[in-house]
Structure 1
Amino acid sequence: MKILELAPRELPPPDRQVLSDLDWSEVKAMWDGNQLGQLHDWLNERWSRLIRNSPAGMRDPEAEFLQGLAYATLALFFTQNHNQEGALLMIDDALMALSRYRPRFLGVHIEPILSALQELRPLLVGLAPDDDCPLCPFVYPKFEYTS
């Protein structure tokens, strides 16, 4: 049996460097290239570095923003991959998270993303969970940011 170590240990500080290292051109390339699974992983990696050992944790505004972008990314990915139920859930989460950061945050233009999700949402309501994407061809706005 192993005894639990209860002695205090020093935690490393939160990784705030992730914010200055954000390269929105990478995001734009993945978003515009419909590489949404890869983009979700990119956002999630930075989100997890940002919240690690942070006193604010997931309530950190920049972390909430990255998480909202990840939700939007998953919604677009899911609807194209026969997961309409998941897409609908992610749209709702993205709308709630990203609406707080209008019109721009960290240089990212939020309105085009929100508009696309608001347009897609009513089309998903009532679809079977594994139905095809309701838009054919599926077109969503390009990722816009100000450097």
Structure 2
Amino acid sequence: MLLDLHSKPILPPDRSVLSELDWGEVAALWNGNQLGQLHDWLNARWSRLIRNSPLGARDPEAELLQALAFATLALFFTQNQNQSGALLLLDDAMLALGKYRPSYMGIRIEPIYGTLQDLRPMLVGLAPDADCPMVPFVYPKFETLRAAP
């Protein structure tokens, strides 16, 4: 097998992803408990963002999208009897989201982080396929900050 060792230009980051983000769409999916769809929405934008970025997954905006995807999937898993997966993703989400508290890119991070923080001790020690420890399962609405006039 021959390798193509010619240098290829590094394309600029796909920053159009950020300008095209519709946090209203995120809020509708989050608030409607459509977490599987929201995870896919976030993941698609994260993938586009890191594709040509020199920072890759270390890009702060990409890391935020990934952290939100982790939080979303953790909430989805705990509702669908995958407590070990929920705990793993919850820890990853908290680690990344902690850097962006209390808000970032117009999103209120603190309520999301607080939900994960409250849920974590309930998941510890549960059987991997146990039912959701919170009945009813209620979490804060996805909130954005209003732009200053």
Distance in 1 between the 2:121 and 2:8 partners?
A: 50
Q: Does the 8 A contact of 2:11 with 2:53 survive in 1?
A: no
Distance in 2 between the 1:116 and 1:144 partners?
A: 13
- Gap runs ≥5 in structure 2: none
CA-CA distance at 1:20 after TM superposition: 0.8
**With structure 2 as the length reference, what TM-score do the two structures score?**
0.94
3-state secondary structure, aligned to 2:17:
helix
- Counterpart AA for 2:41: W
- Counterpart AA for 1:78: F
1:25-104 equivalence runs, <5 A: 25-104=24-103
Residue-pair matches, total: 146
- Counterpart AA for 1:85: S
Q: Does the 8 A contact of 2:35 with 2:73 survive in 1?
A: yes
- Gap runs ≥5 in structure 1: none
Matching of residue 20 in structure 1 with residue 40 in structure 2:
no
Show CA shifts across 1:85-105 (max 9, x none).
000011111111001001110
Show CA shifts across 1:80-137 (max 9, x none).
0110000001111111100100111010001110111111100000000011000111
**With structure 1 as the length reference, what TM-score do the two structures score?**
0.95
- Counterpart AA for 1:9: K
CA-CA distance at 1:11 after TM superposition: 4.0
CA-CA distance at 1:55 after TM superposition: 1.1
CA-CA distance at 1:12 after TM superposition: 3.1
Show CA shifts across 1:48-71 (max 9, x none).
111112111111111111111011
CA-CA distance at 1:5 after TM superposition: 2.1
1:65-144 equivalence runs, <5 A: 65-144=64-143
Distance in 2 between the 1:57 and 1:20 partners?
A: 18
